[in-house]
Structure 1
Amino acid sequence: MNYLTESYVDSLALNSSAIKNGKDLVKKNSFPLLCQSEDGTIIFGECKGSGKDPYRCSVDVAKEGNPVFRCSCPSRQFPCKHNLGLMYAYTSGKTFITAPVPQDIVDKREKAEKREEKKKEPVDPDAPVVKRKTNKSALMKKIAAQLEGISIAEKLILQLVQSGLGGLDKKALQTAEEQAKQLGNYYIPGIQTALRDLTLQFRALEDRETMYTNVIEQLTTLQALIKKSREYLNSRLENPDHPMDTESALEEWMGHAWQIAELRESGRVRSESSELLQLSFRSYTDQARGEFIDEGYWSDLQSGQLHITRTYRPFRAAKYIREEDSVFQVVEAKELAQYPGELNKRVRWEEATFREADSQDFQKICASAHKSFPEVIKQVKNQIKNPLSDKRPVVLLQFAEIKKTETGYILLDEQGKQIPLADIPYLGEPTTHLLSMLNKTFLQNQAIMVMFEHNWQHNRLKAQPLSIVTTNEVVRLLY
């Protein structure tokens, strides 16, 4: 169980409170019984609880990267604080006696092993892929409801525009927000969120000019979303056998939550092992969605592409969903699922192991960085001009120098082409000023990951530095 370290246990916890609660159990000596199996693949014990009987907890670590947690407590957190405490007791060097594994754990383990063996049974490569059957009647009803909801959203936007953006008061905004809530019954949560975001723009504490710029941009997005969604849904209504759009992000824009089975059926799952290294990470609050979002930016060591991971934690259920954090080791994902997208595809995995990053990994990342600034700028502009594309793509660039000027910092490539570096309001985390604190060696002939944004007021692209990659390390400016 060499991989069962304190940092690994931290990564399994749902949030910082769960980490604290688990460690507190160890500090309070709440485990009168600590045991491990003879082969060391299961740790188990008893933890004092609020009742007279202790909670019986166990952690099966036979399968690296996919521990199995069991506990007799009623907690809905997974892993619970008792499981975490048990693992922290092990990593802190507490004495675990060797003892026979309880029979109920043995039985459950055997059942799990049988399920795994069944999955490993050879599959006929010539056999057709069995896809789930679609309930056409239910699909037709859902699409009809979606189209009705889109019409309601369109009328609401028209009312806002006709009443005059400058004349919207608190009462009008409240009415619009109440009407937007009705869209929750029409299976278009993405469009509902976009409308909620529009009303929040009016409430933002910004100068009027900036607010109107953001509102116009959001209205443009909504108009394109409604138009394309209606066309797409009408085509599916005419032909129920027409598959879902897995090439663009339209389904996700409308609010569809992709299941890994759907991604697998559409060929968007890489079955061979994939290696990824996180270059930057952030957590933020999305009021329009009513969720906390944990977002990681990763380099794919095989393809050289930059991917994004996102974990959505609804406000009401946040304490039951694991809060993601920065990852500094290389993730070896058994299976990598890629969502529809463009420059930075969202990815996810269910099983993974970890290893320390080495110089070869950093060299691969540096080698995958773009050398030509004009080519990158053209690619970014082509994406940004699409209303339903990610407006803030992340790109890895090779640079000759980061130079300070009278007005700020600029990025120079080998040909002397420039990209201005500046903080993006969207991120809400300034990083550009950190460049002055770095050794000069980091500011010459390295690779840098930046997030682009189009400044509508000045009609120009700017980029915020997120991390600098050398052949020996990653210097994170945004964790």
Structure 2
Amino acid sequence: MAVVVTEQSIAEWAPNEKVLTDARALLRKGALKKLAKNDDGTLAFGHCDGSGRTPYAVSMDLATGADKPTVRCSCPSRLFPCKHGLALLLAYAQKGALFPVEEPPKDLVQKREKQAQKAAAEKKPAATAAAPRSVNKTALAKKAKEQSDALDTLETFLVDLVSGGLGGLSSKSIEAIEHQAKRMADADMKRTAGVLTRLAAYVSGDWLGDEDDEDAPGVRDVARGLGEAQEARIAFMLTQLYTTVRRGKKALEGKFVEEGTTQSEADAQLESILGKAWRLPELREAGYWVKNRRFLELAHERSDDEITEFATAIGFLVDLDDGSVVCEVTSLPFHTLPFTKLRASRMGTLEIADAALYPGDLVNRRVRWDEKVEGVVRERPREAADYEAVHRHGKPLDPVLRAMRNQLKNPLHPLDAVFLVAAKKFGDVGGELVLEDEAGMRLVLRNTHDGRLPSTDALRHAAAAFGPGTLAVRLQYDLLTRAIYGDPLALFVGDEHLRLRA
């Protein structure tokens, strides 16, 4: 079966954004020459002008049995596909029907035959289960001891830190926080290390991006004049750290479920507190698995965290069958971004045969599948029935707010969650945009994302042009005011999907 080439799929195959931009530039300036295809259109070939004296030979094969094309180029680039190969893919997606039919070069035909033979020899049944890992009980016991000791040290440190109050913080306090972060990272408790790193940044004011030239090089001092919002954030992080100590110790002792915590939440905190990295076979064996699901992406966001130096892309997907909103997460350290890229937005409807649904008592649980396994995922064009399902799953505000407040009961849970809300109308009250549902309940909408166009302004324009509908909205808990606000992400009206992010 031949691979279908679209602008979106090409963006997903590109090794990074720069290569894709360079490929489009090659296409615009007419660098591709003598383009042609074979009689069934599954093999395209030609030449592309480059930095060499002679044009590079470039080709793409859509029928090798893989889930993406085989792209070849005679250039010396180590990126795959290179910009010349991506330019050919773009040209084929746009005007492939106009390529003249010619006999392909013999070397390309031979390479196709060899690749097909190799794929047939290596092909394994998709349902073959992964071999179970051998368990090193000695290593596990050693790791548990290291984590227990690290939690004991963190507990003592927190008592000393809190007893001194914010007024007693100094540059030595920041060094001590950073030392604790390193200790947690060494114990494989990366989330706790991240909270400590963020705490050090907030205390020092580094999150503001300010620099004090008067400070000695390498010395970080306490920020002057912390505002109420920053103090509230610091207090919340300290609460998270204390909760981590308390629950982490119970997790190591296996006492989570005894205290009434659900098994799903207990398993989730093995990951969030103790750093367990779930493998797909483990999630399947533990029962965190779903089959034959249809997902439609509500919104897609990328965030760059300058404190932890990680870039993250999150796609919020609605399950068209049960209405739950899950998230697809890709996270990469900054230093890898020139060589790889984050997950692109999903423009079609996803049909997933098998997927892991991560444990936890969260509103937006993580979903993950193995796209390398044949037949696991299929992305098709959206249909009218898909949009009807989105509207059907739009909820009134009352159950939405109850679900949000339930999530907030756990200090280790996020302070935000994404929902689908059925909106009767939008309007301005006291200078703020407000959503009202059929029962007359209201939610204040505010911007919590630094977009080029505030999403509330975008929603005002969209609602004026299309009317109210079903709103994908992030509910956010404000630590200072202790109120819940809405951040609009996308508006669905009929079969229109209006993304509100700039």
Compute the TM-score of the two structures, normalised by the length of structure 2.
Answer: 0.81
- Which of 281, 284, 289 aligns to 1:269? It is 289
Deviation at 1:319, TM superposition (A): 1.7
Q: Identify if the C-alpha distance between structure 1 residues 421 and 246 changes in structure 2 by more than 3 Å, giving closer, same or farther.
A: closer
Contact 1:308 1:346 in 2 (8 A): yes
1:149 corresponds to: 150
Deviation at 1:259, TM superposition (A): 2.8
Deviation at 1:426, TM superposition (A): 8.9
Compute the TM-score of the two structures, normalised by the length of structure 1.
Answer: 0.84
Deviation at 1:17, TM superposition (A): 1.0
Deviation at 1:67, TM superposition (A): 0.4
Deviation at 1:19, TM superposition (A): 0.8
Are residues 1:98 and 2:99 paired?
no
List per-residue Cα deviations over 1:77-111 (Å, max 9, x = no partner): 44433432331232343746432434344323322
Deviation at 1:291, TM superposition (A): 0.4
User: Which whole-Å CA distance do the structure 2 matches of 1:384 and 1:426 have between them?
Assistant: 24
Deviation at 1:208, TM superposition (A): 1.8
Q: Identify if the C-alpha distance between structure 1 residues 406 and 454 changes in structure 2 by more than 3 Å, giving closer, same or farther.
A: same
Are residues 1:345 and 2:365 paired?
yes
List per-residue Cα deviations over 1:96-130 (Å, max 9, x = no partner): 643243434432332223333x3158x8xxxx996
Contact 1:432 1:465 in 2 (8 A): yes
Contact 1:301 1:364 in 2 (8 A): yes
1:463 corresponds to: 486
Deviation at 1:378, TM superposition (A): 1.5
Q: Identify if the C-alpha distance between structure 1 residues 23 and 250 changes in structure 2 by more than 3 Å, giving closer, same or farther.
A: same
1:382-421 equivalence runs, <5 A: 382-421=406-445
Contact 2:394 2:422 in 1 (8 A): yes
Are residues 1:193 and 2:194 paired?
yes
Contact 2:315 2:328 in 1 (8 A): yes
SS in 1 for 2:430: coil
1:119 corresponds to: 125
1:241 corresponds to: none
SS in 2 for 1:335: strand
Q: Identify if the C-alpha distance between structure 1 residues 375 and 427 changes in structure 2 by more than 3 Å, giving closer, same or farther.
A: farther
User: Which whole-Å CA distance do the structure 2 matches of 1:333 and 1:64 have between them?
Assistant: 20
Tell which deviates more after alignment, 312-321 or 18-27.
18-27
Deviation at 1:368, TM superposition (A): 0.8
Q: Identify if the C-alpha distance between structure 1 residues 86 and 157 changes in structure 2 by more than 3 Å, giving closer, same or farther.
A: farther
Contact 2:331 2:342 in 1 (8 A): no
Deviation at 1:400, TM superposition (A): 1.7
Structure 1 runs not aligned, ≥5 long? 237-243
CA RMSD of aligned residues (A): 3.3
Give the total of aligned pairs: 463
SS in 1 for 2:201: helix
Tell which deviates more after alignment, 41-50 or 217-226.
41-50
Structure 2 runs not aligned, ≥5 long? 209-224, 256-262, 372-376
AA in 1 matched with 2:281: A
List per-residue Cα deviations over 1:231-284 (Å, max 9, x = no partner): 212339xxxxxxx97764313323434333332333333343x32221112111
AA in 1 matched with 2:423: F
Deviation at 1:310, TM superposition (A): 1.5
User: Which whole-Å CA distance do the structure 2 matches of 1:451 and 1:129 have between them?
Assistant: 37
2:89 corresponds to: 87
1:109 corresponds to: 116
1:240 corresponds to: none
User: Which whole-Å CA distance do the structure 1 matches of 2:34 and 2:287 have between them?
Assistant: 48
AA in 2 matched with 1:13: A
User: Which whole-Å CA distance do the structure 2 matches of 1:31 and 1:428 have between them?
Assistant: 35
User: Which whole-Å CA distance do the structure 2 matches of 1:129 and 1:17 have between them?
Assistant: 36
1:271-286 equivalence runs, <5 A: 271-272=291-292, 274-286=293-305
AA in 2 matched with 1:419: L
User: Which whole-Å CA distance do the structure 2 matches of 1:378 and 1:293 have between them?
Assistant: 28
SS in 1 for 2:423: strand
